[in-house]
Every structure is written in structure tokens, then in C-alpha cells.
A and B are shown apart, each in its own frame.
Chain A
């Protein structure tokens, strides 16, 4: 199993550009989430999904969209990038209660918005 994969690893955007961060998992996990990590602030939940076709907002959803058309994929879209979105982004998946809700994290994407 590849686990949770994220692409790209690094990205530089100009203000106003849009892009999609890709996330895929091959463990057949129902739950998937996106977090951002900023210095001194830990990880904050952006959006999450409890299954294909079902998504919901987390703590900091503004400026981001998600969709979940398949169990495997959970892309995060930045609609119009802003410098405040400079951060490290983590995708995570979880099998749910059967495994004690352990989350498996991807390697992260470092995004810089200039």
C-alpha cells in the first residue's frame, strides 16, 4: 500500500491564482480530512469527508473547496490564492471506529503564495 499520497510536494502561486492539491489513499478508508499547519498554531481542520459524496466544513474553510467523488480521492481547491494561505497542507484518512479512529497522514504540501 502507498498509504496517503499528496501532490505536489511544493508549490509557489501568485496572488489570485487557483490550484488543486491532490490527495489519494489506497486503504479504502471512509474518512478523509484536510489540515493546514502554520507556525505556532498546530494543525487546523479545513474540510473533511465521512464518505464518497459527503463533505463538511472544519475550523478554517474559507477560500477552499473540496469534493469527494470516489472513496480514494479528496482534492482541495484554492479558488483565488492569498498570501494568508501560505502554509503546509496535510491530507489524512481514517478507517473510523474499527481502528480507534487513527488518522494516517500524507507527507504534506508546502504552499507559498506571493
Chain B
């Protein structure tokens, strides 16, 4: 089984500042996808960003970007210009490409944006 580790249970950041959430994973696969999902207090799971392992370029989506280090099996999420609406749980997830459906999630990081 794959394992996904998020070593920061809680983090906080001042509004407008930048914060980085860490994620590491363990796999023997070479072809896979990585995801960051956001879960606000409403409980709805929302996709933030995804990265395909065969792509060396780091994914970006507006204020969200990742630092994907395949050799180190590391996949961190950087949130720039933090906003109050970014307050949420953030989950890192791994998916083997061949399965297309089996996701493995980390335990989450609770992020609080302080006004």
C-alpha cells in the first residue's frame, strides 16, 4: 500500500503572507498523480491542484503552486497572498496511474489564516 505523510497537523499564517504545507509519500511506482484537496468547515472536498509524476514542471493554479521533488518523494503546497477563505483542512493525496481510482490520503493539515 502507498503511504502519504503530512507532518504538520496545524499551521497558521497571517493574511497576505505565504505559507508552505508539506507532504511526503512512499511508493515504488514510477507513474502516478498527486493532488492537494481543501476541506473548509462546510466539509466539502475541493480540488486545489494536481501534479502528474512524469511532468517535471511544477503545477500552478493562481495563488497555489507545488514543489514536486520526485526523487525525494516530496510534494509541498505553497499558498501565496493568503486569504481568510483559505482557512481549511488541506489533504495531500496519491493515486497510481494504472488504477485510475485508488486514492491514498494523508492525515491533513489544518490551516488558519489570521486577519
Contacts and interface: CB of A to CB of B under 8 A. Distances in A.
Interface residues of B, number: 21
Nearest to A49: B101
Contacts, number: 57
A75 interface: no
Interface in B46-61: 47, 50, 52
A102 B100 CA distance: 10
Interface residues of A, number: 27
A96 to B, nearest CB: 5
A78 interface: no
A42 B50 CA distance: 18
Contacts of B33: 100-101
B50 A58 contact: no
Contact of B101 (A50, A88, A90): A50
A97 interface: yes
Contact of A42 (B52, B95, B101, B107): B107
Contacts of A33: 101, 103
B105 interface: yes
A88 B25 CA distance: 24
Q: Which 6 A-B pairs have the closest CB atoms?
A: A105-B45, A42-B105, A43-B105, A42-B107, A31-B101, A48-B101
Interface of B: 1, 4, 33, 43-45, 47, 50, 52, 91, 93, 95, 100-108
